[in-house]
Structure 1
Amino acid sequence: MKTLCSLLCLSIALVCGPAFAADQAKTAQTVTPKVSKKKAQEAAMKLVKGKLLRWDLEIQEGKPSYTFYIKSKDGRINEVALNGDTGEKDHIGIELEYGTKDGKGFKNSSDADKNRWKETKFSKDQAQVKALEANPGTVEAWELLIWAIGERGKLVYEYRIESKGERKVVCVDAMTGEILATSIFADGK
């Protein structure tokens, strides 16, 4: 009886396992946005006027999302996130600080944003520990952002982490240390 049960379980695992794994493994290679990068960029530039600095395509929970970093006339770097399938705005944030593993980066000097740094309860290093505990690897770049959600916006750290040939973007709440989102970096400049 034990042998029959074991064989039945093995058969189910062999038949269903690949289908389940394929369904769960929507990666950057298997998800294609319905909206072209060009159309998404045009939509982002209408939302925030300025100079495009860089862009990302990320996959979160099997869904594509574009992020455009636009320097506006007031000197702020705005993060405009759009749904990759609809082109609709997800959120617009303000980048407070940015850094890379090779020491490049910038710090926002806008008078309107200067004091927001002081509000964080978790330092960049403390939040990075949380991100790496959840997603081990090497941090390539990090940002401190104001996600424009709610009246004052949520302070969030984002870490781009390289691990085993895959790059992930991990968002950590700067007030609580909670991991808010993890996505797969698919493309960008």
Structure 2
Amino acid sequence: MTMPGLIRSTTCYLGLMTVLTGLVYPLAVTAVAQSAFPRQANGSPVVLDGAVIGSELIGQSFTGPGYFHPRPSAAGADGYDAMASGGSNLGVTSQSANQTITTRLQAVRIPSTRVPIDLVTASGSGLDPHLSPEAALYQAGRVAAARQLRRERVEQLVRDHVEGPTAGLLGAPRVNVLRLNLALDAQTAD
């Protein structure tokens, strides 16, 4: 094969693969996802009174004493910024990371109890919408007092919202903070 022929066939192959992998395949996957799983394909939105208030897949900040607080976020200046997703990239020997964790520990510590690690460390993306059941239960006393609910009732609400591992195999049990706080808002005072 001559050099011009090789260039021509390489260019044709590049064009074909660009169209197949850059256009046809993404459009086919999008069409299948939209028809088979429309809610998930559109970001798993959480709708309340006809308005989208969040996503099951992206954490958001809750700071009031009557709400369960999510994991800290390192995504963006105020946290939970999906455009700035990413961890802090600070390791266990980082002075800055250790100071941040110490400050967070002081803010959430209940005397003579062990603080769950996910209440003081950000997730890898900074957008994790879940907490461990232990981290949610750790906050139950504060939430119950702020809402004037029995602690046992709030703890049962947490247990009712524990999601098992995906497909029974992947991951650990977890609690979606947004869904838990919405269920909490539906409760009435004791």
TM-score norm. by structure 2 comes to 0.29
Which structure features the higher share of helix residues?
Answer: 2
TM-score norm. by structure 1 comes to 0.29
